[in-house]
Chains A and B, each alone.
Chain A
Amino acid sequence: MSKIFTRYGDGTPVELSEKELMEDMQAGTEDAADRANVPVLTDDDLKHMFDILASPHSFVSVERGKEVILTYDAGTLKIRRVGVNVDRIQALQIYEKIMGADTMELCHVDYSYKPIKPIITMEQPIMEQALLATHIPLFYGAMPNLGLYSQPDGPFPNPSELLPNGMIKEARESLEQTVEEAVRDIVFTGSAMYESGADGINLDSVGAAGDADFLASLIACRKLREKYPDICIQIGMAGEFILGMHGQLEFDGVRLAGLYPQDQVVLAKQAGATIFGPVVNTNTTESTPWNLARAVTFMKACGEVAEIPIHPNMGMGVGAVPVNDHPPIDIVSRASTAMTSLCKIDGL
Chain B
Amino acid sequence: MGDPVGMAITHAHASGMGGMRGAGDLVARAQMSRGMRTWEAKAYVAEKLKISVADLTDPVIMTEVREDLQIGQMTPMPGCAKGIEAKFNIARELDFNINCVNRFRTRTSI
Is B53 engaged at the interface, CB distance under 8 Å to the other chain? yes
Is A78 engaged at the interface, CB distance under 8 Å to the other chain? yes
On whether the beta carbons of B33 and A197 are closer than 8 Å, the reply is no
On whether the beta carbons of A132 and B38 are closer than 8 Å, the reply is no
Q: Which of B6-44 contact A (CB under 8 A)?
A: 6-21, 24-25, 27-29, 31-33, 35-38, 41
**Most chain-B CB neighbours within 10 Å: which of A61, A67, A194, A274?**
A67
Is B78 engaged at the interface, CB distance under 8 Å to the other chain? no
Chain B: which residue is nearest A319 at the CB level? B11
On whether the beta carbons of A336 and B11 are closer than 8 Å, the reply is yes
Q: Which of B58-110 contact A (CB under 8 A)?
A: 71-72, 74, 82-84, 86-87, 90, 97-100, 103-104
On whether the beta carbons of B15 and A199 are closer than 8 Å, the reply is no
Chain B: which residue is nearest A102 at the CB level? B24
| Measured CA separation A133–B84 after assembly (Å) | 6
| Measured CA separation A265–B30 after assembly (Å) | 20
- For chain B, the bracket of interface size reads 35 or more
Of B1, B5, B12, B15, which is within 8 A of A101 by CB? Answer: B12
On whether the beta carbons of B6 and A332 are closer than 8 Å, the reply is yes
| Measured CA separation A137–B23 after assembly (Å) | 12
| Measured CA separation A293–B30 after assembly (Å) | 30
Q: Which residues of B contact A66 (CB under 8 A)?
A: 15
On whether the beta carbons of A97 and B99 are closer than 8 Å, the reply is no
Q: Which residues of A contact B19 (CB under 8 A)?
A: 70, 96, 99-102, 136
Q: Which residues of B contact A103 (CB under 8 A)?
A: 25, 28, 32
On whether the beta carbons of B100 and A131 are closer than 8 Å, the reply is yes
On whether the beta carbons of A61 and B37 are closer than 8 Å, the reply is no
Of B2, B17, B21, B33, which is within 8 A of A316 by CB? Answer: B2
Per-residue interface assignment for chain A, residues 198 to 214, with 1 indicating a CB less than 8 Å from any chain B CB and 0 otherwise: 11100000000000000
Of A65, A78, A79, A339, which is within 8 A of B53 by CB? Answer: A65
Chain B residues engaging chain A, CB cutoff 8 angstroms: 1-21, 24-25, 27-29, 31-33, 35-38, 41, 53-54, 57, 71-72, 74, 82-84, 86-87, 90, 97-100, 103-104
Chain A residues engaging chain B, CB cutoff 8 angstroms: 59-62, 64-72, 74, 78-79, 82, 95-97, 99-103, 128, 131-137, 194-200, 230, 232, 274-275, 306, 308-309, 314-317, 321, 324-329, 332-333, 336-337, 339-340, 345-348
